[in-house]
Amino acid sequence: MSCVVAQPALDVQAIRRDFPILSQRVNGKPLVFLDSAASSQKPTAVLEAMNHAYCTAYANVHRGVYALSEAATAAYDAARAKIAAFIGTPEPECIVFTRNATEALNLLAYSYGRAFLREGDEIIITELEHHANFVPWMVLARERGLTLKFIPIREDGLLDLEALDALITPRTRLVSFAHVSNVLGTITDPAPIVERAHAVGAVVVVDGSQSAPHMPVDVRAMDCDFFVFSGHKMLGPTGIGVLYGKRELLEAMPPFLTGGDMISYVGFDGVRWNDVPLKFEAGTPAFIEAIGLGAAVDYLQALGMSAVRAHEVEITSYALECISTLPGVRLFGPLDPNRRGGVVTFAVERIHPHDLASLLDQEGVAIRAGHHCAQPLHQRLGVNATARASFYIYTLPTEVDALVRAIERARVILRRA
């Protein structure tokens, strides 16, 4: 089976030349990397930007008045400005660097949640959530006597937003949800949730881990109060994530960690916190990683996020079409590629996903298998684990063909054909 696209959204072959890792072979077969939802590969532009910073301008930021420190600080601040523009805010000061989206969500639960939520208040999340947007709120709810509610999913994998009216009450203080599900690929329109939450005075947290790397994002148009994402899923390095927050909320929140650089004054008589965002960035920051993320943003901006999204719709549509023809395969999530991100999650009858992933690896095909850090969702789906293929700017239709052939071979090997 092959895919013919009249006018591809991206020149994928040219893009792949920027990713040296994709040229290697695994188990004697060409690498087919279909696990970008877990962590994407890195282009040479990102690697070179970080190496250049290490080689030419490495010194601690915000601490020196000499040339190297000033150059590093300027590059760090420039990265923050690029990332602010990337998600549609004109205020770089509203961008807080964290280690990843998980830390950003924990920061919110610890700082905002413990400062402003009281016994009897309500938090609403969804059945789609990654553990990172589930466990911090559950822990907070148990500690503070809060009520945790869940927006259910429909049989087609979309959120049942009609249930939201019954869930939201005057006691609702916070609503947090994934913009795009890392399992089902479900894309959730933030507008109706934001509108209903704000109507009762609740703040809205959007987990953009699977949206910021793959589609245009505008936090001002979205009118969310907080937005989080990870650098390593969008061509950037590990160890760098982003928390966007409305300025008035960030200024009202206490710090998450304390120590150097997040204070403006400390003495035997007390301490005063620094301005945002530095109030939330204790210690030496991951400034080289931030520079790398800034380079990743430059790379994506040059491609155009609308083109990135269009490519993923094309490749996801083809993957859904191909995999749906295989006997004994169950697909999860919306079948409309325009309603889902670049992931296809599935199960093969009488083959455990871990066994399937191992056999696919023998063919050079790398996929994810397990509960994908979303055990409650898998409980809701009635399965313990699933297999997931996820795509990005460097994914080719021929790699979907290789995935299909590898699944067929696995069924034969396990005598399930």
The rounded distance, in Å, linking the Cα atoms of 109 and 263 is: 21
Quick one: average pLDDT of 385-400? 98
Residue-wise pLDDT tens digits, 67-76: 999 999 999 9
Structure tokens at 40: 């994407």
pLDDT of residue 260: 86
The predicted structure's pLDDT at residue 63: 83
Q: pLDDT (tens digit, 9 = 90+) per residue, 154-173? A: 999 999 999 999 999 999 99
Count the residues in the chain: 417
**Which tokens go with 273?**
């916190």
> Confidence class of residue 297 from pLDDT cuts 50, 70 and 90?
very high
Is 5's pLDDT higher than 60? no
Measured distance CA(125)–CA(137) in Å, rounded: 9
List residues with catalytic annotation.
373
Tell me the pLDDT tens digit for each residue of 370-388: 999 999 999 999 999 999 9
Q: What is the pLDDT, as a whole number, of residue 7?
A: 65
Residue 141 has what pLDDT? 98
CA distances, 223 to each of 65, 92, 379, 393 (Å): 39, 17, 32, 28
pLDDT at 416: 54
By DSSP bridging, strand 147-151 and strand 172-178 are: unpaired
pLDDT at 331 over 70: yes
Q: Is the pLDDT of residue 3 over 60?
A: no
Give the rounded percent of residues in the chain with a pLDDT score beyond 90.
95
pLDDT digits (tens, 9 = 90+) for 256-295: 999 988 999 999 999 999 999 999 999 999 999 999 999 9
The answer on pLDDT for 417 being more than 70 is no
Domain ranges of the chain: 12-43+304-413, 47-302
Is the peptide bond between 237 and the residue preceding it cis, with omega within 30 degrees of 0?
no
Contacts of residues 369-373 at CB distance under 8 Å and 24 or more positions apart, as own/partner, are 372/130, 372/182, 372/183, 372/345, 373/130, 373/131, 373/132, 373/182
**So what CATH class is 12-43+304-413?**
alpha beta
Q: What Å distances lie between residue 321 and 190, 293, 317, CA to CA?
A: 28, 34, 6
Residue 325, pLDDT above cutoff 90: yes
Q: pLDDT of 229-255, one tens digit each?
A: 999 999 999 999 999 999 999 999 999
- With cut-offs at 50, 70 and 90, classify the pLDDT of residue 64: confident
Is residue 332 over pLDDT 60?
yes
Mean pLDDT over the full length of the chain: 96
The first and second tokens of residue 106, run together, are 């924990």
Query: Which pTM does this prediction carry?
Result: 0.96
Provide the CATH number for the domain formed by 47-302 in this structure.
Answer: 3.40.640.10
Contact call for residues 12 and 394 (beta carbons, < 8 A): yes
**Separation CA 221–CA 224 (nearest Å):** 8
Instruction: Decide if 12-43+304-413 and 47-302 have a common fold.
Output: no
**Is 205's pLDDT higher than 80?**
yes
- For residue 120, the model assigns a pLDDT of 98
Average pLDDT over residues 99-112: 98
Which pLDDT tens digit goes with each residue over 116-158? Answer: 999 999 999 999 999 999 999 999 999 999 999 999 999 999 9
Of 399, 310, 308, nearest to 6 (Cα)?
A: 310
Q: Is the pLDDT of residue 47 over 90?
A: yes
SS3 336: coil
**pLDDT surpasses 70 at 6:** no
